[in-house]
Amino acid sequence: MSITIRVFDPADTEAVLALWLQAFPEYNDTSRPHRNPRLSIANKLGTQPELFFVAADRDGAIVGTAMAGYDGHRGWLYSLAVAHEARRLGIGTRLVRHAESALAAMGCLKLNLQVLSDKPEVIAFYDALGYRADAVVSLGKRLSVQEPAAVA
Ligand SMILES: CC(C)(COP(=O)(O)OP(=O)(O)OC[C@H]1O[C@@H](n2cnc3c(N)ncnc32)[C@H](O)[C@@H]1OP(=O)(O)O)[C@@H](O)C(=O)NCCC(=O)NCCS
């Protein structure tokens, strides 16, 4: 499949949401209402939007996404997704490599990411790309923030 990787455009919003709902079943989990993909897009458009990438096929259809960030110390990668019908064609690899290059160009020395522990196939994917588990415990805490208005 011939694809192009480019920066996300707001016009891609609905196609990206459809892809994420397909690729991330957890977005359909109503017990986790804090997962709001539309708000994730809105927030990313306000923070390093140049690190939000999509893979588009020859017809312009969105078949993959990767959202990266750099905080001046580490790079992070989120929302890597490839459409079911386009998997195992190397698109996920290309998206990760693209994000790695963009982060390296900013001076980022290490890229971190988290994978849900019940996704062994995703861990296998990252292992194939040279990623290894760090000897750390991943901690997190939700913060109360005023949510910006999501894009339409
Ligand atoms: C993970 C994901 C992005 C991989 O995308 P992809 O385009 O299919 O990956 P690639 O074609 O680049 O795969 C590269 C290599 O990774 C490994 N790999 C990919 N998918 C795999 C799977 N399901 N099981 C085992 N290994 C896998 C293989 O070694 C593969 O090489 P090969 O096809 O020559 O054997 C895709 O499966 C996906 O969107 N999953 C659902 C969303 C998700 O959970 N994202 C991760 C969030 S942290």
pLDDT by residue (tens digit) across 27-82? Answer: 888 777 678 999 999 999 999 999 999 999 999 999 999 999 999 999 999 999 99
Instruction: Indicate which CATH number applies to the domain containing 54.
Output: 3.40.630.30
**For residue 151, is it within any domain?**
no
Question: Considering the domain boundaries, does residue 107 fall inside one?
Answer: yes
Contact yes or no for 7/49 (Cβ under 8 A): yes
Q: What proportion of the chain, given as a percentage, has pLDDT over 90?
A: 86
* Ligand 1 pocket, residue 124 CB under 6 Å: yes
Q: What is the pLDDT of residues 130-149, one digit of tens each?
A: 999 999 999 999 998 766 55
Q: Which residues contact 76 (CB under 8 A, 6 or more apart)?
A: 68, 69, 70, 111, 112, 113
Residues 6+ apart with CB under 8 A from 128: 93
Which of the four pLDDT bands, split at 50, 70 and 90, describes residue 100? very high
Residue of 122, 127, 131, 138 with the most ligand 1 atoms within 8 Å of its CB, for mutation? 122
Ligand 1 pocket check for 115: Cβ under 6 Å: yes
Q: Does 101 map to a domain? A: yes
pTM above 0.85, yes or no: yes
On whether residue 142 sits in a domain, the answer given is no
Domain count, the chain: 1
| Band (25; pLDDT cuts 50, 70, 90) | confident
**Structural domain of 56:** 3-128
Handedness of CA 128, 75, 98, 142 (dihedral sign): positive
Residue 122 CA: nearest ligand 1 atom is 1
Q: Per the domain annotation, does 99 fall within a domain? A: yes
